Amino acid sequence: MEATLTIIKPDSVAAGNAGNIIAHLEREGFKVTAVKKLTLSQAQARAFYEVHKERPFYDSLVEFMTSGPSMPVALERDNAVKHLRAVMGATNPAEADQGTIRSLYATSIEANAIHGSDSAENAQIELGFFFSRAELLAGRG
């Protein structure tokens, strides 16, 4: 079993797609071990996306991610990081394969429905950003 993090982003939550996205992930064999609904502060969004701080889209990304509630979801599955990235689709929904979450629910390269950790190492860092060890252990089967 491997752990990863998705964030159902403010566009998906506002559009009422959170339930469909979680159902899609469960159909793909992911177990939800923890979930929260929260509106990120500027400081939290800046810290979470710090690796992108030199990118031209950073300020806009922070604005978008703080614009309303989002839902961090801790997931487990064999090969979870790689499988989530396949199921999620390309960053730009115009390039996402048909049937992927971003092809189904994203509206732009920024409002792209969900986030997915890009490596097992970053998954641990990102899970720890939102969830305590006790919360993650309590939700395991």
Q: How far is the CB of 38 from ligand CMP (least distance, A)?
A: 16
Contact call for residue 33 and ligand CMP (CB under 6 A): no
Pick 22 or 40: Cβ nearer ligand CMP: 40
Element (H, E) at 84: helix 80-88
- Contact flags string 57-86 toward ligand CMP, x per CB under 6 A: x---x-------------------------
Contact call for residue 109 and ligand CMP (CB under 6 A): yes
What are the E-state strand segments in the chain? Answer: 2-8, 31-35, 71-77, 114-116
Q: How far is the CB of 15 from ligand CMP (least distance, A)?
A: 15
Pick 29 or 49: Cβ nearer ligand CMP: 49
Quick one: which of 106, 84, 86, 81 has its CA closest to 97? 86
Q: How far is the CB of 34 from ligand CMP (least distance, A)?
A: 19
List CB contacts of 137: < 8 A, sequence separation 6 or more.
none
Helices and strands per DSSP (H, E), number in the chain: 8, 4
Active site residue 24: no
Q: Which residues are catalytic?
A: 115
